[in-house]
Amino acid sequence: MSRIQEIQALIRYGLYYLTEHADEEAMIDGFNIYDVENGILTGKIRRTWPKEKKYGVVGISIDGRIIGVVCRFTRSGKVRVITVYEDKP
């Protein structure tokens, strides 16, 4: 199973959470939790940070905008969403 498939599986099972920062950034850009979920479920990993074990996922929000999500795996086997942003070309 690829990393994006692992992340997507955990999202499908609800085994994830947003940091306070991610929640604030999502709201600033007009995204909600469903946008974050859809972005990850439709997304691909665009960037990785091997030392920090972070992944930058870019996908599509519910309303069709391009959403970026930076996340990592936790020791407890969940996905921690670190930040959310609108990915503008």
pLDDT at 19: 98
Per-residue confidence at 89, pLDDT binned at 50, 70, 90?
confident
Per-residue pLDDT tens over the stretch 17-68:
999 999 999 999 999 999 999 999 999 999 999 999 999 999 999 999 999 9
- Which domains does the chain carry? 3-86 (3.30.2310.40)
pTM, 2 dp: 0.95
Contact 17, 89 (CB under 8 A): no
**C-alpha span between 74 and 54 (Å, rounded):** 10
